[in-house]
A and B are shown apart, each in its own frame.
Chain A
Amino acid sequence: MRKYLYIYKSELMSQLQYLFNLVFGFIGCGIILFIFFNLWHYIYSDSSQIINGYSVDQMIWYVIITEIIWGACMGRTLCRKISNDVRGGNIAYNINKPYNYIGYSLASHLGTATVKGIIYTVLALILGLVMMGNFPTTNVLELVLVLISSILAVVISSLFTIFIGLFSFFIEDSSPFYWLYSKFILVIGVIFPIEYFPNVVQPFLKFSPIYVVSYGPAKLFVNFNINDCISIFVAQFIYILVAYLLCSLVYKKGVRRLNVNGG
């Protein structure tokens, strides 16, 4: 475990030099949040109106949290890196190293994600405070739980991305699959809470990755509820386990294929 911590730390330190770029890069994200601020204020007739269980401020905070998590995941970069490792033969060098490739990729990616996550969190929370004038919750325990759940969301999303990136063992280009995944999360999971969808699809969404990588932490932040909290954490742990097992399985199969083909 210590070596993964070390990989994580060195990646984090090297990312610090790009601090300025990250702050600047937040502008794009800030614009989206600003657009949603306007959009939801147009749709909600006044601040007391509740639609599908959410007030207008809650809807905007919801988008803020999901955008932070999505921004910190940087899935496209990770997916491209994994694909390049696989296709460029870099992975062959990793086979006989004393660490697990998936653990290595995850640790180094989380190092990058941490820096971006912190910057985005600080800036997005400031922006939210400016737009709404208050936080949905100031309970420290609740905030800590939201934070943990958000971190788990980033871990799960990264594992899924690694899983998709590893498809490159079997097909030439895995990016269309990543694209499908990102569209699914972005269009359905980032903008609207699950309650906004028709009753028929809601149960499906609750079992889908959306529940653990975007809906969960955002829901807890805007409207904390201990029952939701427990089920979200349970779901997140199950998902981590499943995602990790899927990664290992694909990796093992892929490496075996690599050996057969002679790299």
Chain B
Amino acid sequence: MLTVVKNQIKVTLLSIKYGLMRQMLNKTTFITNIIFMLLNNASFILQWVILYSLKDNIGGYTFKQVLLLWGFAAGTYGVSHFFFKRVFSLSDIINTGKLDASIIQPKNILLSVITSDVEASALGDLIYGYIMLFICDISISSFLLFTLFIICGGIIMTSIAIIYGSLAFWFNNTEMLADTGNSLMVNFATYPEGIFKGVVKTLFYTLIPIGFANYIPVQVLNDFNVFGLLAVLGVTTLILCMAIAIFYKGLKNYSSSNLMSARI
């Protein structure tokens, strides 16, 4: 059992390494991508400077806390898009029969598919996340907590993408739905929870789980409480298990691109 896990980790890391090597073939493009992503994220600070000139507290967040929220949003995005880039085109992979190559390998299918490429610009997001953290707080404990949280958040985001992507096992034309679903998390993630009311707030702890990926982490980092930490860990595990179960259930319906819709 242990060697199986060890071998799986070895292959996954090798796969990510090769993906990174591909991105680094053109060094200039690689570095420009990262730098532009950093600048891109940084440009939004201007928006918040103006908003905080109108009011000191927005949605229960101070300016620094918004920066930290951005740190979490960027970090979460960075983890999922760097390590698991291909999960965001899972619908297409399923529809065009590109799962075949992973199925015939004696390794975990899902991991092999989603780790087969990396997104260079997501490294920029990861770096930006840590910069925001250091602006707000420099300490070993917050560094470790932040790292743990963005890994959890990244897994949550990836799991949601697995679920949306797996819909392609059952339905046609789910790509746009998956794209929209995934962008929901990104769009909401950078705004303080407190500006929303009612139903929308419950969405953040159910269908669009940025509550667990971003809001609770911000709270815990500001004012440590063990329940928040446990909730995030628990929900991450739960969503991940759900995603895996759905993917493998769908896999039995996999038609390896044989299912072309015929026109009459």
Contacts and interface: CB of A to CB of B under 8 A. Distances in A.
A–B in direct contact per CB < 8 Å: yes
Interface residues of B, number: 28
Interface in B180-208: 180, 183-184, 187-188, 191, 194-197, 200
B176 A21 contact: yes
Contacts of A41: 195
A183 B40 CA distance: 8
A191 B36 CA distance: 21
A41 B200 CA distance: 15
Nearest to A52: B54
Nearest to A183: B43
A260 interface: no
A133 interface: no
B50 A42 contact: no
B187 A43 contact: no
Contacts of B54: 43, 51
B180 A28 contact: yes
B44 interface: yes
B58 interface: yes
Interface on chain A toward B: helix, strand, loop, or mixed SS?
A: helix
Contacts of B252: none
Interface of B: 29, 32, 36, 39-40, 43-44, 46-47, 50-51, 54-55, 58-59, 176-177, 180, 183-184, 187-188, 191, 194-197, 200
27 contacts: A21-B176, A24-B176, A25-B176, A27-B180, A28-B183, A28-B187, A31-B183, A31-B187, A31-B188, A32-B187, A35-B187, A35-B188, A35-B191, A39-B58, A39-B191, A41-B195, A42-B58, A51-B54, A176-B32, A176-B36, A179-B40, A183-B40, A187-B43, A187-B44, A188-B46, A192-B47, A192-B50
Interface of A: 21, 24-25, 27-28, 31-32, 35, 38-39, 41-43, 51, 173, 176, 179, 183, 187-188, 191-192, 196-197
